[in-house]
Structure 1
Amino acid sequence: MKLLSRIITSWLVLLSLSPTAVAFASESNVGSLTTSSNSVDVGLTAPGHSREWQLDVTNTGSQDLPVSFQVSASSGTAFSGDSPAVIAFFEEEGTIIDFTSPDAIVGKNYELGTIASGETRVITGSIALPLAADDSYRAATASLSWEFSAFNDSADATDTPTGLAFTGVSAFLSVLLGVLLVAIGFIFWLRRRRTDSRRTQESTESS
């Protein structure tokens, strides 16, 4: 019985150390991002000129994060008519979104790369009227909203076992336990049979 107890205990230890079958989300929100603003109301300048504003995002979490940027909504008379305004977003490293209509970019994610823990990234927004715009745009208004998203993609799919692999490990250990239990049962049965046979022989000889 001591042998059986030791084998079962060892199997339970192995099973507890084995990965559990789980389903992983492709993306998961981690850390924390703070931004100086998430919307702007901006007036227009003369046709052919642009007006700029700045926004920033800071990674206040404890780990570096890949971050994406999205223009979530746009409204205003500046974006209607025959010569609507166009918008763009830039970083020091380069262009995030080149001048285009808000309708073409609203709801789309644009990757900013990895923002280190404690790092602040500054983005410049710009709105411009085409040269063809007439005086009807003089009092036009424009409103934009945006948001940032952080996700953790540090896990390498080639290094991380899949749920199927995890399930295989647990299944193998379960089968192994079954084989061990059958083998131990057979050994105990064989020992008991030999013991009974020896007792019968001793009883016969004493008679």
Structure 2
Amino acid sequence: MKIVIINYGAGNIQSIKFAIKRLGYEAILSNDVTEIQHADKVIFPGVGEASSAMHKLRDSGLDTLIPTLTQPVLGICLGMQLMCHSSEEGNTTGLGIFDVDVIKFEDIVKVPQIGWNQITNLKSTLFKDIEEKEHIYLVHSFYAPLCDETIAECSYGVDYSAALQKDNFYGTQFHPEKSSDVGQRILENFLKM
């Protein structure tokens, strides 16, 4: 199986690569269009600020490639947010895969949310053998509100989308590669799709 982690200069790619290796697979880091197109699974990570990450995607032509992919694609953290219509962070236009706009947490909670939280209302094979209220690890100041494409929820001052799915596209606001055994199972579920 060919697994490609998109390497566009805004991702936590090494920790994801190590998590995949622990599952017995090898992943390739690449921003090559042909290599990404021919992958069996694509992981789209993201750490940092939305508008600068989108600039990097546009500069490499990946902004037009990613929405056309037909194999399973997993966006992680900022990667998931960039797959949405837009983000309030830097007034950024996203890839438009998920039909939701990313907004900032209100001042009623401490931002960023850093640490462990529980996922609930799990609705996808991505969460096969995952129990309700399992703990996952998050670091973020912006979130996708609940929508038709929500497949898992978290609560932090407001209920929001912990994960999204549309067709072959999946996104997790949390970091499966940093979420202990639960995150490993979620990554394995994705790789077995």
TM norm structure 2: 0.23
Larger gyration radius, structure 1 or structure 2 = 1
State the structure with bigger RCO (CA 8 A, min sep 6), 1 or 2.
1
Q: Which one has the bigger helix percentage?
A: 1
